[in-house]
Chain A
Amino acid sequence: MFDLIIFLVLLSLGYGVGQYAERRHYRSIIEREGRLNALPAIASRYPPIEPHYGQSLVIGSTVVSVDYFKRFLAALRNLFGGRVTSYESLLDRARRESLLRMKQQAADLGAAMVFNVKYETASISKGRGNTIGSIEVLAYGTALIEQRRK
């Protein structure tokens, strides 16, 4: 009985706080995406030949964790199969956040664009049962910085 109460409290805490945090995070992501829209991130491997750009490696990374409620939903999903929407939104947030951090770093350097953008996802705390404890998303690319002619 006591266990059940703890479970329900954790579940509702996870739901309440998790939903609130997610909504706030999405608002901030959309706001910053609008601001950094002028700086394109391109997945192409070949940079433009002219004009000459300076280069710098830029990196953005985020570690996020799923909340208790979503983990419960995902565990239910494991029974029936299908899309695990609760994890999808988690990964989406992490990817967009990482890309934004990378772009921010590039913008601080005064870059015109970011080339050869690559993503790398790793789950860093495996082993607690078979849940995704937390995941890290890393975005990196080469910032091309316009240089003044001497």
Chain B
Amino acid sequence: MLISNLELIPGRRVVEHLGLVQGSSVRAKHVGRDIMAGLKNIFGGELKGYTELLQESRDEALQRLQRQAEAVGANAILNVRFSTSSIAQGAAEIYVYGTAVILD
């Protein structure tokens, strides 16, 4: 499965458009990480725990995106976009969407 945020693939032709596919994942941090983050709010700097958490979350969203694309029979997803929103204190949603296509 080819996942790309470009709109076209040089040298390959889009045979069929299959519409929008999406994947999302909502994760919250556990209390330990929240306490560490509270400390970091005093000293500043990178919150490694959160970075990792969001990365895991993003990987999961990408997997769901890919599963959906496979279900509709696509062999590539083009023009992929990410979006993050905090829906509540301590929880973030990662949303990935793109166009499922069949390339020749």
Residues of A within 8 A of B (CB): 10, 13-14, 17-18, 21-22, 25, 45-50, 52-53, 55-57, 59, 61-68, 70-71, 90, 97, 115-116, 118, 120, 122-128, 133-134, 136, 138, 140-142
Contacts and interface: CB of A to CB of B under 8 A. Distances in A.
Given A123-B86, A138-B82, A65 B7 contact: no
Given A61-B55, A65-B37, A138-B84, A45 B6 contact: yes
24 contacts: A10-B42, A18-B44, A18-B45, A21-B45, A22-B44, A25-B45, A46-B7, A46-B8, A57-B5, A63-B50, A64-B46, A65-B40, A66-B41, A67-B41, A116-B5, A118-B82, A120-B82, A120-B83, A124-B54, A126-B86, A127-B89, A136-B84, A136-B92, A142-B4
Interface residues of B, number: 35
Contacts of B7: 45-46
B4 A55 contact: yes
A64 to B, nearest CB: 5
Nearest to A11: B42
A118 B46 contact: no
B47 A65 contact: yes
Interface SS, B side: mixed
Contacts of B88: 127
Question: DSSP majority for the A interface?
Answer: mixed
Given A65-B41, A68-B43, 10 more contacts: A13-B42, A50-B10, A52-B10, A57-B80, A59-B55, A65-B46, A90-B44, A123-B86, A125-B37, A134-B50
B5 A118 contact: yes
B56 to A, nearest CB: 11
A70 B6 CA distance: 38
Interface string B13-29: 00000000000000000
Given A52-B10, A140-B5, A133 B41 contact: yes
